[in-house]
Structure 1
Amino acid sequence: MTDVKQAPVGNGAVGTGDNGHNGEPAVSLGARPRRPKPTAVVHLTVAERAAKGKAARVAAPRDAHGDWQPAADRRDPVDLLEEQAASRVRELVPIRYGRMLVSPFTFFRGAAYPMAADLADAPRTGLDVQLCGDAHLSNFGAFGAPDRRLVFSINDFDETLPGPFEWDVKRLVASFAVAGRDRGFDAKQRRSINRTVSRAYREAIREFAGMSNLDLWYSRIDVDEIAELAASQASGKQRKTFERNVAKARSKDSMKALSKLTQVVDGEPRIASDPPLIVPIEEVAAGAEGFDHAEFVRGVIRSYRRTLTPDRRELLERFRYVHAARKVVGVGSVGARAWIVLMLGRDEHDPLFLQVKEAQASVLEPFVGKSKFNHHGQRVVEGQRLTQAAGDIMLGWIRVADLEGVNRDFYIRQLWDGKGSALVELMDPSAMSLYAGLCGHALAKAHARSGDAIAISSYLGGGDSFDRALATFAEAYADQNERDYKALQDAVASGRVTAESGL
């Protein structure tokens, strides 16, 4: 999906059993991933892997992670944000800036690129994992696993790439420092929370390092387990808030989206227009003479389903396309092209809402190198599959040409599938400390699946040197974040960039 362009499509209609191979697809799946020549896999012993972790302390001493000073040639953060904006929908970029200007905390959510540039200057451990790339505390949450149980994990992979494990941990701990300031916590409370994040990560990595490969691969965090933890450690008010959040997540499905986002037109549900946040495809394509937007989207779906496994393709083919709209999402993602697609199954009470979200180059790419996948949608999907024990059954990807003939990559997932996020704005220090432990554990699980938990655990050791260093780093970087936030405020005040608030 994009600011759309008519393209050749296959002859079959989605939901008729057409396998998508008749005629030419409307979009491509992208070139094959860059694959090096096959080489033999080297299997180090546990002792050799542990020695590798200890050796990494020479290149990057654990206490050195606490150091933070902006480089003398540090780029202007607004320049970096504008660099990102160049490839986005121009009329939506002011909304992104408006959302970032709400507070230093919302600014941090959209400032993954400036932080990646800063982290690139630090010593590296060389212990690489599949990074989330934007591991702030609001990018963790609940979602429905294929067995329909709610699980807790990282839930945003737009920036995923392999890189040094410590980058994700630093961004996560810093996000808690920024959030603690936003909530008005004092320095002692924030320091305790910051250390809880890195301690939970360190202890979880040690736990995963002792697991068998299969036990590690199957390991996941069920929300029911979190409920037991909340029952034993949280206050009565916190438990009630948690229970409300879980109930809300369980109800957040395609039926809820149907009732919230659509209206009936001529007996058929249509996504309601609410510009500039939700704009139906016929409004986006207004003026494109001869453009058949319905057939275009059907062609997109035909091509997307080729990236699904056969069983999930069979499921998708039981739904027919009804309507699509462009929808603004998130903070950092605003301006990137994102669409929602409504499909119906057996009747109007059997909807499937898909989100089609643009995947641009990761903010990490200038600092860790290009992905082995030529298709950024596939990069996102494969990164998510590697790091999550349970993921969205409808994950797939496509490539579409826009009106200027520019190929744009997208990944596709369910819009709402039991998704729920923590309400940071309601947390007291105790609740945030509990959440800090969950996020640290979840990040360690993702890293253990994709990296070497034994080496990372050996590097971190059993003491709290790493914890103390990251707590110090987080507060120093929260100071930097406030300076960067002020830089954006000044840029808006001077007219250098435009912000649109309240959206």
Structure 2
Amino acid sequence: MADQVGEGHPKERAALGRAARADAPRSAHADYRPSAKRPDPVGVIEAQSAARLPELVPIRYGRMLESPFRFYRGAAAIMAGDLADTPRSGFTAQLCGDAHLLNFRLLASPERHLMFDINDFDETLPGPWEWDVKRLAASLAIAGRENGYTEAERSAVVRTAVRSYRERMRHFAGLGHLAVWYSKADTDVLWELADRKVGARARERARRAMAKARGRDSLQAFEKLTRVVDGQRRITPDPPLIVPLQDLLPDVERDALEEQLRELIQRYGHSLESDRRHLLRQYRVVDMARKVVGVGSVGTRCWIILLLGRDDEDPLLLQAKEADRSVLAPFAGASTYDNQGHRVVAGQRLMQAAGDIFLGWARVTGIDGRRRDFYVRQLRDWKGIAAPQLMTPKDMRAFGELCGATLARAHARSGDRVAIGAYLGGGDVFDRALAVFAERYADQNEHDHQALTDAVHTGRVRALNA
């Protein structure tokens, strides 16, 4: 877990925050220079791929090749090493670990309210709060380059997001623990931001996105991803992205894998609260399929589990995703959780304002004899993702503002918000520094993307479009 939110009188904690500027000046956060010992970026990606399903790894490379922004989404391990050499204030929080702009999205609360929050926690771990802010800042600069924004426009986008983080953190510093814990961004907040910050087209896109998110639930996924075969509801094949279990392996291995996945669901149920465990027991497993997800996660073992309840029109679609060690661990320290799925779930519960009622974890032994950790969640639950390629600079400033505020709220739940807020201060020194950092790291990301492109052209790695 991250450090406690802070001990001692708020004045003492604020003094510690201001004193930290002596060792880590806020302007120093503009610095980024690749270390002389910086590892080969393609080698870092290949090292990750070694533990993944080899037949899927070329899909990962193909997706990362598409653009510098797509590469960045899959390059959290590369950036983790780079961030380890950057200045830090000495204060920690529970980190997302991969806080790029597309990991902020619309989600459903258990009370069925539409919220805006962080979505991906595969790399979550306690660490320097600056690392998440810098990954968000660089993602905005890289997306801005892809959209053809000028350098001044990109700087404004980044400075707005970082200012939002700084101001919200200072706001949370003045609140009690429960007030911080209950803070959230629901649709009322989103509409207020849209009315103030974006144009008519963007407001209409936001309205459509919210309506679409509400439609992206288990029933919608059920209709899209399943079909009736010989009177039985089954997951629809879409190889290589979705491959039902019966199409994946020979009979003997398939039976062993099916038994393993049923055991996974049974064990995962023990990680849920008793009421949700009771709810899960009312469903029965009817089909399973392997699914290719995301960019950075391609090649990890990920399964769709179709369960049915009262009848064949009462579905529950779960996603069981393999959890490995966080990319931050070599630089921030190992997790206190032995089970990496437990690490992901604990981090998500700590950072998110409202979570999936079916979020849990399990460990099983695979058909290869290796123990593997998984976390489990609903496949879709009112999720809506941003489309940065459609954003004007004004739109992206508004989106960045929302992301910065959301990240501050997530950090304030676990880190010393008083000390961090005092360190950041009321001026824009940190904001301007991160705008410079973001551009410098965007340059580095382009070099790394080119390195992967060259590796594909020379045959060092193979890429596949899918």
State the 1:42 CA deviation.
Answer: 8.0
Alignment match, 1:497: 461
Report if aligned partners of 2:253, 2:367 keep a CA contact under 8 Å in 1.
no
State the 1:295 CA deviation.
Answer: 4.4
Alignment match, 1:58: 22
Q: Give the aligned length.
A: 466
Alignment match, 2:440: 476
Alignment match, 1:460: 424
Alignment match, 2:8: 44
Report if aligned partners of 2:198, 2:395 keep a CA contact under 8 Å in 1.
yes
Report if aligned partners of 2:5, 2:415 keep a CA contact under 8 Å in 1.
no
Q: Distance in 1 between matches of 2:261 and 2:287?
A: 9
Amino acid paired to 1:326: R
- Partner of 1:91: helix, strand, or coil? coil
State the 1:294 CA deviation.
Answer: 4.7
Tell me, yes or no, if structure 1 residue 305 matches structure 2 residue 253. Answer: no
Alignment match, 2:133: 169
Q: Distance in 2 between matches of 1:149 and 1:206?
A: 27
Indicate how the Cα distance of structure 1 residues 394 and 264 shifts in structure 2: closer, same or farther if over 3 A, else same: same
Matches within 5 A, 1:299-448: 299-448=263-412
Deviates more, 1:70-79 or 1:226-235: 226-235
Alignment match, 1:28: none
The structure 1 residue matched to 2:180, chosen from 208, 216, 225, is: 216
Report if aligned partners of 2:138, 2:439 keep a CA contact under 8 Å in 1.
yes
- Partner of 2:194: helix, strand, or coil? helix
Amino acid paired to 1:388: Q
Tell me, yes or no, if structure 1 residue 258 matches structure 2 residue 226. Answer: no
Amino acid paired to 1:110: G
Q: CA RMSD in A?
A: 1.7
The structure 2 residue matched to 1:96, chosen from 60, 64, 67, is: 60
Tell me, yes or no, if structure 1 residue 291 matches structure 2 residue 259. Answer: no
- Partner of 2:227: helix, strand, or coil? strand
- Partner of 1:57: helix, strand, or coil? coil
State the 1:357 CA deviation.
Answer: 0.5
The structure 2 residue matched to 1:146, chosen from 106, 110, 122, is: 110
Q: TM-score, normalised by structure 2?
A: 0.97
Indicate how the Cα distance of structure 1 residues 348 and 435 shifts in structure 2: closer, same or farther if over 3 A, else same: same
Deviates more, 1:294-303 or 1:420-429: 294-303
- Partner of 1:82: helix, strand, or coil? helix
Q: Distance in 2 between matches of 1:290 and 1:368?
A: 39
Indicate how the Cα distance of structure 1 residues 364 and 289 shifts in structure 2: closer, same or farther if over 3 A, else same: closer
Q: Distance in 2 between matches of 1:205 and 1:76?
A: 36
Q: Distance in 1 between matches of 2:101 and 2:256?
A: 42
Matches within 5 A, 1:110-121: 110-121=74-85
Q: Distance in 2 between matches of 1:123 and 1:134?
A: 19
State the 1:291 CA deviation.
Answer: 2.3
Matches within 5 A, 1:2-13: none
Indicate how the Cα distance of structure 1 residues 189 and 286 shifts in structure 2: closer, same or farther if over 3 A, else same: same
Q: Distance in 1 between matches of 2:23 and 2:249?
A: 54
State the 1:269 CA deviation.
Answer: 1.3
Alignment match, 1:226: 190
State the 1:290 CA deviation.
Answer: 8.0
Q: Distance in 1 between matches of 2:138 and 2:257?
A: 44
Report if aligned partners of 2:260, 2:366 keep a CA contact under 8 Å in 1.
no
Amino acid paired to 2:413: R
Amino acid paired to 2:33: Q
Q: TM-score, normalised by structure 1?
A: 0.90
Alignment match, 1:241: 205
Unaligned runs of 5+ in 2: none
- Partner of 1:357: helix, strand, or coil? strand
- Partner of 2:165: helix, strand, or coil? helix
Report if aligned partners of 1:294, 1:323 keep a CA contact under 8 Å in 2.
no
Amino acid paired to 1:288: V
Amino acid paired to 2:178: L
Deviates more, 1:301-310 or 1:266-275: 266-275
Report if aligned partners of 1:142, 1:223 keep a CA contact under 8 Å in 2.
no
Report if aligned partners of 2:117, 2:353 keep a CA contact under 8 Å in 1.
no
Q: Deviations over 1:88-141 (max 9, x none)?
A: 111100000000011001000000011000010122211000010000000010
Q: Deviations over 1:416-445 (max 9, x none)?
A: 000111111111111101000000000000
Indicate how the Cα distance of structure 1 residues 348 and 118 shifts in structure 2: closer, same or farther if over 3 A, else same: same
Amino acid paired to 2:435: A
Deviation beyond 6 Å, 4+ runs, structure 1? none
- Partner of 1:339: helix, strand, or coil? strand
Indicate how the Cα distance of structure 1 residues 115 and 290 shifts in structure 2: closer, same or farther if over 3 A, else same: closer
Q: Deviations over 1:149-184 (max 9, x none)?
A: 011111000000000000000000000000000111
Q: Structure 1 vs Structure 2: percent identity of aligned residues?
A: 57
- Partner of 1:288: helix, strand, or coil? helix
Q: Distance in 2 between matches of 1:254 and 1:198?
A: 35
Q: Deviations over 1:42-90 (max 9, x none)?
A: 8311011111211221221110000111111111100000010011111
Q: Distance in 1 between matches of 2:314 and 2:105?
A: 26
Q: Distance in 1 between matches of 2:429 and 2:445?
A: 24
Q: Distance in 1 between matches of 2:274 and 2:208?
A: 37
- Partner of 1:68: helix, strand, or coil? coil
- Partner of 1:397: helix, strand, or coil? strand
Alignment match, 1:16: none
Indicate how the Cα distance of structure 1 residues 418 and 41 shifts in structure 2: closer, same or farther if over 3 A, else same: closer
Amino acid paired to 2:431: D
Amino acid paired to 1:484: D
Report if aligned partners of 1:342, 1:354 keep a CA contact under 8 Å in 2.
yes
Deviates more, 1:287-296 or 1:370-379: 287-296
Alignment match, 1:275: 239
State the 1:386 CA deviation.
Answer: 0.8
